[in-house]
Structure 1
Amino acid sequence: MSVESYLNYLQHEKRYSPHTVLAYRTDLVQFNEYIEQTYEMQPEEAKYVHIRDYIVHLMEDKVGSNSIGRKLSSLRGFYKYLYRQKIISTSPMSLIKAPKTPERLPVFIEEQKLDHLLDSGEFFDATFSSVRDKMVIEVLFGTGMRLAELLGLKETDIDFYQESVKVLGKRKKERIIPVTKQLINQLKEYIELKSLQKFNNKTDDLFVTNKGTAVYPVFIYKIVKSYLTYISTQDKKSPHVLRHSYATSLLNRGADLNAIKELLGHASLAATQVYTHNSIERLKSIYKQAHPKA
């Protein structure tokens, strides 16, 4: 089946993460079901008109423009693969344009609120689970790494001498993120506390559950959401919000945009430039509050 061969290609040759491959699988299986049920054909037989009807079907189902754009991106890659494999002679996606999506600024938590959460002493105690939860938030906010990168962290990825953390980013690309001496010392204390726990199996995974097994996405989401609820009323409270908060804090403190791009592991500067909008909005707010003519 072409869909399965394409997914294998993404996983083994392009080295996409399991999370990304799963997202492609979901999109392609959904499209495959629509094409089979509606037109009784295989995806390889689809033409421009069928893709256009699929978009209309998604819009009638109230699927958001961002989600439609992602699904079309999945289809675009799939049909490009089929063309290169000479399974099709032309791509039905060549004339397809995704619906326009409203520009949304990255959601972030103000630095002062995160400082209060992490430094006030109100929210964490000395138990292993509490220390681990604090370290999860400290590392996400202190490095700006992605959730998948956090899940893959090993104790050996921490360079205590160089005060840096090695992460494995998208498409297996490694990068080094410098961290503060304070965070390095906190990581030392956390790893020492972790070594004292009576887990059945010792593991090199940096973050583990209360039973000593490697943490997983839902586990981290719950940690982040539960603690951010103490300091923020905004709806979105995810690990990615802490990544946005990291980037916004760096930019507000005068960091070079190219440097932020490297720290975040972005492939292009365009992905990083979205944070400049947050900075401009902050400057506007300061102006309105402080300028006599505002």
Structure 2
Amino acid sequence: MQEEDRLILESFKDELTYGRGLSPLTVKAYLTQMTDFAAAGGSFVKGFDISQMREYLMKRASTGMSPGSIARMVSCFHTFSRWLVETGRSEIDHSELLKAPRVPRRLPGFLGVSEVKSVLNAYDTSTTKGLRNRAVVELLYGAGLRAAEAASLLLKNTSIASGTVRVMGKGRRERIVPVPGGTVEYLGKWIQKRNEYISGDDPGTLFISVRGRKLDPRDIRRIVSAGVDGAARAAGATPHTFRHSFATHLLNGGADIRTVQELLGHAGIGTTQIYTHLTTEKLKGVYMKTHPRGKK
């Protein structure tokens, strides 16, 4: 990569990290693509135009890359090209005519209430590690947190007294989420045991490893995987599955979609509306089984 291109990419990284407050994983995804683009012969200074971008995307598509991955690449080019214009590095947004392939929107998977309970009961809470792990999954389901949000949640932002957590979400959007009594119970038990894992400086996060370090999203995924079995394993349950289950169960219970949007920390209602499809399918199933005109 040319030095001028490298400096531009460093500035773009700063914009994504500090200007837009994107998560480290999102920033890494943007930089990985743009670095790969440069390695394939692309330049951010000379000849950065739609023909270069299309050539790069066609090469990636020819390797069998999915439409979803190509669509994310197109989105990355849009963000980068607009940033070049905003910062005076380009007079034209060369990505303007670049179109992403249509990607079928898949409905998120979720677990039934009994399946969630089965996973929660899988952890041996007589041990400190088992207690921590159950508290993690309790929070994923009880508050609908993303894995990264649960990993970075600060101890000082966890209020057992009020039953709330203050969460820093995507785009550095902060929200306060109520936590149900059962979840509060396990959070409180974990906090009482938490100091057993502190061996040096306290990282300040609610959840820590046995060596006292901050957990990362991969640790959260491993914790979930350790408790998943039976139907939940067959459903491919992940940390996000519990977030989906949180939203779906709220809507099934009569919560309005705006409330669910706020609890999930979605910037727009459109992202939340996908969960209404899940509840609609459930209602349709009940109708077909019970209504005289629904029976064959």
> Alpha-carbon deviation of 1:43?
5.7
CA 1:73–1:252 in 2, change beyond 3 Å: closer, same or farther? same
Instruction: Note the C-alpha offset of 1:221.
Output: 0.9
Letter in 1 for 2:49: K
Deviations 1:58-109 (A, max 9, x none): 2111111111111111111101011122222212211111000012001111
1:154-169 alignment to 2 at 5 Å? 154-169=154-169
Q: Counterpart of 2:83 in structure 1: which amino acid?
A: Y
Structure 2 gaps, min length 5: 1-6
Task: Find 2:67's aligned residue among 61, 65, 73.
Answer: 65
2:18 is matched with which residue: 6, 9, 12?
Answer: 12
Partner of 1:22: 28
**Residue 247 of structure 1 aligns with which residue?**
247
Q: State the 1:202 CA deviation.
A: 5.6
C-alpha displacement of 1:22:
0.9
User: Does 2:82 correspond to 1:80?
Assistant: yes
Q: For the residues of structure 2 that align with 1:264 and 1:198, how far apart are their CA atoms?
A: 30
Distance 1:44 1:182 in 2: 59
- How far is 1:117 from its partner? 2.7
1:228/1:218 CA distance change after superposition, 3 Å = same
Per-residue deviation, 1:124:
2.3
* Percent of aligned positions that are identical: 31
Name the stretch that deviates more: 260-269 or 104-113.
104-113
How many aligned positions are there?
A: 287
SS of the equivalent of 2:175 reads strand
User: Does residue 1:32 correspond to 2:38, yes or no?
Assistant: yes
Q: Identify unmatched segments of 5+ residues in structure 1.
A: none
Is the contact between residue 158 and residue 206 of structure 2 (CA under 8 Å) also seen in structure 1? no
Kindly tell me: are residues 62 and 227 of structure 1, through their superposed partners in 2, closer, same or farther at Cα, counting changes over 3 Å?
A: same
Deviates more, 1:176-185 or 1:230-239: 230-239
- Name the SS for the 2:177 alignment partner: strand
CA distance in 2, matches of 1:198, 1:241: 28
Contact 2:110 2:244 in 1 (8 A): yes
Q: Contact conserved, 1:151 with 1:216, CA < 8 A, in 2?
A: yes
Name 1:218's counterpart in structure 2.
218
Letter matched to residue 49 of structure 1: S
Q: Deviations over 1:229-282 (max 9, x none)?
A: 344243533211111111111111111100000000100000100111111111
Report the counterpart of residue 209 of structure 2 in structure 1: 209
Task: Supply the distance in 1 between the matched residues of 2:63 and 2:25 (Cα, whole angstroms).
Answer: 25
C-alpha deviation, 1:140, in angstroms = 0.3
- Aligned residue for 1:281? 281
Paired with 1:11 and 1:133, the residues of 2 have a C-alpha distance of 30
Superposed displacement of residue 44, structure 1:
4.9
